[in-house]
Amino acid sequence: MLSQDHPDIAKRHQQLRSAIKAQGVEGWLSEKADSPSRESLIYLCKFAFFTGILTKSQIGRMLEADRAELKGLVKSWYDDHRAKGCGTC
């Protein structure tokens, strides 16, 4: 998984924000997406996954997550979604 101080976090954050904006759903983002950080990038990946902008494979590359990390992350997103419903991003 990407380290907290990975040098590409800001770049990847901006790329993903641009992709979300291009799909016209940027207005649905919470303030969690405002400042580049590892947590914000993970939030954007979750949002992009549930809005169909990124695939699981693309998220794995974006976050440099190995197979087990990615599986656990996506499972936690689904668990959160099932528990709280839509709008958990």
CA distance 37 to 4: 7
State the pLDDT confidence band at 81, using cuts at 50, 70 and 90: confident
> Looking at residue 56, what is its pLDDT?
96
pLDDT tens string 13-69: 999 999 999 999 998 898 989 999 999 999 999 999 999 999 999 999 999 999 999
Long-range (24+ apart) CB contacts under 8 A made by 4-7 are: 4/37, 4/38, 6/38, 6/64
Q: How far apart are CA 80 and CA 16, in angstroms?
A: 22
CA distance 47 to 7: 22
Task: Give this prediction's pTM.
Answer: 0.90
Indicate whether 87 pLDDT > 70: no
